Structure 1
Amino acid sequence: MATKITSGDFDEQFLTCPVCMLHFRDPKILPCLHTFCKECLQDWATKQQPLECPTCRTQVSIPDQGVDGLRTNFYVNNLLDFAAAKKGAEPGVPCQVCEGNVEGSKSWCADCATLLCKSCTAVHRKLPCSKDHEVTPEETLKAEEAISNFHRKRHCDKHKKYELEFYCESCNALVCTACTVVDHRPGKDHNPVEIATVAQKRKRTLQELLQDIDPRLKEIQASVKKVERTMENLPPSKEAAINQTKAYFRQLANLLQKREKEILSQIDEQCLADSKALQTKKEAIEFQLAGLTSAQTFCQQAVEHGSDVHILEVGNQVQTRVETLLSKQLDLESDWSEFQFVENMTVVDVEKEVDNFGGVKTNVDVSKCKIVRKPTVQGFECVAELTIVNKEGRPCVTNSKAVTTNMKDPSGTVVPMQLQMRNWGEWEISYVPKVTGNHMLEVKVNSQQVTGSPFDVEVKEKDTPVLTIGQKGSGVGDLDGPIGVAVDKDGNIAVVERGNKRVQVFDGNTGQSLNIFPVAGEKPYGLGVDSTGRFLVTSWGEDCGLRRYSKEGKLLNTFKPDPLLDPHGLAVLKDGRMVVADKTQQKSCLLLQPDGSLIREIGKGQLKGPVSVSVDELRDVMFVTDDAGHKVFAFDLDGNMKFDFGKEGKNDGEFKTPRGVTFDRAGNIILVNNTDGRVQVFGPDGTFIRTVATVKGGSATGIALTPDGYIAVACWKGHCIELYRYM
């Protein structure tokens, strides 16, 4: 359980901005709950888009008002005030009003955030404009519990002299007494309640969360200690692995050196044997050469210089000798070819096998590693996600050199790829294909092919669907009249079918059907998913209403507030509030509480046939498609119309019964036409940007944007969901 912070518990770390390392100046809180100076965040935002928290690197979205729209950390302001007041109460600090009374006691006015001496305090309490201010004396500042009771008063931005004393539950806004009379008068549109009442409820909720945090903290702390123990084993494990590696390759090197010596010795022996054989043969040939040369000389002398008597005496003998020598068979060939080294295994062969000469053994089970291939489109950055798991089937970490990837396009050209680790055991393989057609993707971990590798990757053109889900039918995976579509936090695509009167959930990567459940109502239409994963479905006609279902498809609630007569499109806000388009009866949009009670009507008298709605909470703007007026309207959640755009037509920027609408991170508006099936994109102000595609069957009703940048479109006549690459 969290303990109370006393005056001696906090130090400079609570008061110092992590960016500028100075005391906070107008501290602002990011959605991740980290606090920074307003000026530091403004400077940071100019350097980085999208903005990441300087501390935790979480991507955050800045409201339309910029950094000014972020919440102020009043707790930090209180700490700063307390630190200033406590220091000011010390001897030697002058009064901030009269600038005198250095040694006297001081008091702190919470309303003015000013340090006052005893005389100025007395005057301050007598002035009509400040007599009711909260003044804290020096004795209280020095008390241990002072910091817990030290709060800077909050005043209304519109009515400066009034404190914020109420909370309008309908608007989720702090208001003053004057606001409850003027802008937030109690009624059907506003419900101001005393701050203390709402704060106590919120405090109880936070206290329950605190109780849940403690066991989780203990679990995480135990895990940290376990990781630390593992980290302690890293150095000896590294040293052992290095020694084993060196020993292994020394053995290989020794074997190679030994083999080298054997072959060199064999070469020496072979050379010696050949030399002896050739010498013997040489001597034999030389002997025959000497005999024949001698006979030749003798015969020539006899012929040239011998008398007839001499010729007759030795002629027969000479003839016999010469004929004998000439007739003798001599081996004049050397019978020796130059010896050379033979590569029984070429260097190229060794190079191919060198990866098998040892490796780093981890707990990775390549057979269990998984690859998820996202639909790929020519010219866009595409990704495949690799999850490396251990033998227990849990994600595990490995070094980047253990993962190798290779991709070739249809012509065999290598496609450049980038590999980056995203999370524990998860790697992202990114690439930009330049041509369409079938590509081959090879993925290895520890030199072993991941199951299924090499993979076929079909690259498509940008204006064709990268994935088509469903066909006409009533079976699992079939669709009949898909009309509403939504994407849950896991990226799964949920579809409401008019024909089959059911909701079907598909895997956003593979298109595989994950869940099916029936829905009530004659004509189901709108579909939304709240922050907890529950489904909300509207239906019009007989038994119309708004119904909430569990993740599994169990009916939880049915809402039928009085004004709800013809519910169509639906949007669910992060806090559970809902906006429903009532098309033909009310011709407006109804902002509802999570329990289905009405907060206010929006667009009454301005809309002709509101059919679909989408809410950009960061920019406080709600987009409504009006298929009767062939327009798109933008309202804030207070019901004020900000702008509208569009007209009937077939040209770029024109509409033919616009239906589903959504938006991207940049605030661009994406919507579909029911009549011609065009998917168009407009800027935040309604300026036409481009046409993405025209869907199958030429009739589109619902649209949703997936977290990884694909547009999911419900094709009414095509009885399918088509996914197009958008970002």
Structure 2
Amino acid sequence: MATYSAKAGTASRAGGYVTDIGNVTDKLLICSVCKEKLKEPKFLPCLHTFCAQCLLDKTADKGEGERFLCLEKECKADAILPPGGAMEFPDNLFLANIIQSRHPSEMDHLCDFCKHQEKEEPAVARCLQCREFLCADCADMHNQTSLTISHDVRALNNLSSATIQGNILHNGTSHNRGDACIIHPDQTVQFYCYQCKSPVCENCLEEDHNGHKKIKLQSLVQQYRGQALTLVGKLQNKLVDIQQLSMSYDTRLAARNIDQVKAQIQETKLSMFKTLEDEERRLIAEIDKAFKLNERQGKGTSFQKAIQGREYDLRSSTEITGAVLDHGSNTELVYMQPSIKARLEALDRVPIPIIPQQLSFHFNPAPKPLLGTLQVETLKPKQGGKTQKQYEEMAKKMVPGTKVKRGRDWRYGNEDGDPPGQGKVVDQLFGLNGQDTEVSHIKVKWDKSGRTEKYRMGADGCYDLQLA
């Protein structure tokens, strides 16, 4: 609930929500199209404000009832050109009043009271309570009338922006920039006529609004302000949720994750290299150890020596015997026969040596080494609604006759009614990504407004609707 001080021109709310005219940011006073201070500011349904001429220029090629995107680059909302063109968009009296208040010397002002009498008199002063510009005669009258005698009327050349921001009430109505009645300038508007949709004073009630349903203006303003503050609070909470979603879906997080996994792969590879080198040294050492042990036990050496000795004995004895048999005389053969016979029989009795146990080495390569396996995981949304797949499935369910309401990417103002209502699907339109089976748009007839329009359900990656 907002709390407002009795001091003119100040208003505050717990949590720092300040409506003091002096605290309105200068950014709101600049047209994002021409980059200059707003002139004849008009606002779109998305509440973005532009110069009237800028709106006229940017919608010159549009027809009445035709949609166009907001002129603010980051805004994705669109608006419908009203009958009569861009000049029929509502005036942003709030910003117009602030610009006029902060820069009074930049404007040529006429007396507001004389305007009511269809006269044009240059203003020389301004009432800081009524926020009316006054000519010399009206300024004198303002200082003498009992209702306004306590008001602070100052000459324009003595006004500064700081003085205006600190003292002027900012509670302008649709009629003028203050609380003075446009019909009865000496009266303040205190009521709101529901039938005429206009703030009125007590005299107006008696003269033109007798019997009309009315409410005290202050009560209506408090009601509107309470509704707005409630919605602002809800939207601020939603903004926090969206910001948290944005933080949870940080592309830098994925990049850091990739770098970490790559580093792990490199570390594993280096570790495996070291392990393989150690294993290589171990296996070679085992071979050398086994071979040296076998040699120390003499198994291999003694057998080789025995083989070599037997081989020599057999070769030398058979060679000499063969020579005697082939080339010796009878006398020589008879003479040597006993010795030859004894040697050959002795060699014949010696058995062939048994081969001792030998070492045999075989290497069995291990299976192809693997660094590891890579697992790619799709993270589930932490919060914030449906996934892309769920929206695609929802679009398929929106067959004719299905009840729907505005969804995630809605940008069409009050086409669905005020407050937003439900509608019935009239038709499904296909052709997303060139696929005749993929839904791209849904045509809906709204219950409240009676309008039939086409909305995106997959086109441009946007989903304007959801199931009711």
Select the structure of larger CA radius of gyration. 2
Q: TM-score, normalised by structure 2?
A: 0.49
| Structure number with higher helix proportion | 2
Q: TM-score, normalised by structure 1?
A: 0.34
